[in-house]
Amino acid sequence: MIINVKNIFKSFRAFHRKAGLKGAITSFFKREYKNFDVLKDINLRVNEGEIIGILGENGAGKTTLIKLMVGLLHPTSGSIDIGGYTPWKRNHKFLKDISIVMGQKNQLWWDIPASESFLLNQKLYDIDEKIYKDKLAELSELFDVKDKLDIQVRRLSLGERMKMEIIAALLHNPKIIFLDEPTIGLDVVAQSKVRDFIKYYNDQYNTTFLLTSHYMHDIQSLCKRVFIIHKGENLFDGDFSNLVKAIKPQKKLLFTFNDLPSSEILEKLNNDFSFKISNKLLSTNLPDEELNNLLSQLFKLDTPISFSIEDLPVEDTMKEFFTDPKKFI
């Protein structure tokens, strides 16, 4: 086990005042503060080499949890052990073992080429010259950005900048990488390349990844396990595919008839299985067992031009889940 988060609570004290002149004058003489509980009794264990997705709505506490695990924040109470270190003590060895990429915040200097920032990271992390050159060559080759290294960061596209951010985060070969919305704002091609790279790097180096993302395709393609925070509390920790099936245990069937059966036959069949017919295309969403029974009946009626069975979109499933999460847990 490389990460052990135990009974973590985190609260913030925020200034509060009413709107308008009266509120401003009142607050000048007497300030009012409110305490906000962002995380409440969070427990999480992660094994080395895992890719785990951290999910939750905006404001659930995902980014706060990551900031605690990298030592940018102190908890109100509880303990965190990352590879044998307490994050907020900022031990130099600990800082060499981790890295963080935040999709909404730039770490590279905008007015100089990415290669200059990489050299700075080499000095900060005391990376051997040969190791640095080999690592940079490998990463720039994998991301296909060799010809972009000496261009000002501000002149790069969003996708190219994100690739450079990830390269900068990996030059010192960290054991644990925290990715907070790494594909936000990227086009589908750039998203796919980032996902492929994470898979490759995890497989090649057994690096542990903790990933937050609002793009469910990121989570579905990368994370077998997810940890869900809801209003600052542990809500779910387990297999993502099993959770999706529990929320919406249905699949979509598309069946294109060669010869459309009579309306009487279809009406009778529709009494047992609810579906829609448009021209010769039958479509429906059903659980596995019902879908198999319907498919068996359809093959008795006709040999189709084509048919397909698809999982329902994960985004829609998780949207339904977050509407009333405790209904499914």
- From residue 21, alpha-carbon distances to 26, 28, 33, 80 in Å are 9, 11, 18, 44
Question: Does CATH place domain 249-311 in 1.10.443.10?
Answer: no
| DSSP assignment of 66-83 | HHHHTTSS--SEEEEEET
Whether the CB-CB separation of 68 and 7 falls below 8 Å is answered with no
**275 residue type, one letter:** F
- Rounded Cα distance between 278 and 259, Å, is 13
The predicted-structure confidence for 188-225, as pLDDT tens digits, reads as follows 888 888 899 999 999 999 999 999 988 888 898 999 99
pLDDT at 31: 77
pLDDT at 105: 77
Confidence check: pLDDT of 20 > 90: no
Give ∠ CA 198-204-210 in degrees, rounded to 5.
Answer: 40
Report the DSSP pairing between strands 233-239 and 77-82. unpaired
The predicted-structure confidence for 104-152, as pLDDT tens digits, reads as follows 777 888 889 999 999 999 999 999 999 999 999 999 998 889 999 999 9
**Domain 3-245 in CATH: superfamily?**
P-loop containing nucleotide triphosphate hydrolases (3.40.50.300)
3-state secondary structure of 228: strand
Supply the pTM of this predicted model: 0.83
pLDDT at 185: 78
Domain boundaries defined on the chain: 3-245, 249-311
Phi, psi of 147 (to 5 degrees): -80, 0
Average pLDDT over residues 256-265: 92
pLDDT at 98: 95
Confidence check: pLDDT of 263 > 80: yes
Where residue 318 falls among pLDDT bands split at 50, 70, 90?
confident
- From the CA atom positions of the chain, what is the Rg in Å? 25
Residue-wise burial string across 181-217, b where 16 or more C-beta atoms lie within 10 A, e elsewhere: bbbbebeeebbebbbebbeebbeeeebbbbbbbbbbb
Where residue 287 falls among pLDDT bands split at 50, 70, 90?
confident
Whether the CB-CB separation of 283 and 254 falls below 8 Å is answered with yes
Confidence check: pLDDT of 293 > 90: yes
- From residue 41, alpha-carbon distances to 8, 108, 247 in Å are 5, 35, 25
* % residues pLDDT > 70 (the chain): 99
The predicted-structure confidence for 49-108, as pLDDT tens digits, reads as follows 999 999 988 888 999 999 999 999 999 999 999 999 999 998 999 999 999 998 777 788
Confidence check: pLDDT of 329 > 80: no
| Whole-number average pLDDT of the chain | 89
Confidence check: pLDDT of 30 > 80: no
Give the residue among 42, 34, 22, 54 at the shortest CA–CA distance from 210.
54
Tokens for 119, please give them: 């050299």
pLDDT at 57: 87
Average pLDDT over residues 279-293: 90
